[in-house]
């Protein structure tokens, strides 16, 4: 079945780095754009970044621009989020989501999320 599985979350000190992964299965990964969306404890959804299906176009939210990098390896059906210079306010559950052009670019498949805690 269509599935996204995130991994790589954990506890990290402020200023350090972390890389999240999102492994896709059950669909042709290279045909879809992908997003990272996060949710701080008790807060709403915040879009983090997205990448086109071929990896050539990337967009970022203001709060992570210059610190986070989204990338993908279509040969491995995997999406990544490299997070540098982490701050306490980056603490959140991070979800990856599939972007379906046929559904008006809605996010139609979501992973279960991976938790990132930035704390000293």
Partner 1 sequence: QSVLTQPPSVSAAPGQKVSISCSGSTSNIGNNYVSWYQQLPGTAPKLLIYDNYKRPSGIPDRFSASKSGTSATLDITGLQTGDEADYYCETWDSSLGAVLFGGGTQLAVL
Nearest distance from C-beta of residue 14 to partner 1, angstroms = 25
Binding letters toward partner 1, positions 76-95, x by CB under 8 A: -------------------x
Nearest distance from C-beta of residue 111 to partner 1, angstroms = 7
**Of these, 77, 108, 115, 117, which contacts partner 1 (CB under 8 A)?**
108
For partner 1, the closer CB: 72 or 98? 98
Q: What is the 3-state secondary structure (H, E, C) of the chain?
A: CCEEEEECCEEECCCCCEEEEEEEECCCHHHCEEEEEEECCCCCEEEEEEECCCCCCEEECCCCCCCEEEEEECCCCEEEEEECCCCHHHCEEEEEEEEEHHHCCEEEEECCCEEEEECC
For partner 1, the closer CB: 17 or 22? 22
Note the residues at the interface with partner 1 (CB under 8 A): 35, 37, 44-47, 50, 59, 61-62, 95, 97, 100, 103-108, 110-113
């Amino acid at each position: 079945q269509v599935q996204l599985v995130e991994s790589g979350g954990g506890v990290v000190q402020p200023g350090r780095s972390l890389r999240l992964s999102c492994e896709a299965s059950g669909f042709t990964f290279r045909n879809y754009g992908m997003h990272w969306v996060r949710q701080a404890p008790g807060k709403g959804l915040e879009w983090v970044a997205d990448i086109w299906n071929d990896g050539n176009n990337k967009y970022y939210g203001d709060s992570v621009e210059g610190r986070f990098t989204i990338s993908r390896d279509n040969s491995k059906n995997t999406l990544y989020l490299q997070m540098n210079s982490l701050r306490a306010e980056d603490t959140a559950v991070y979800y990856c989501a599939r972007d379906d052009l046929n559904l008006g670019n809605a996010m139609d498949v979501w992973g279960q999320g991976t938790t990132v805690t930035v704390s000293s």
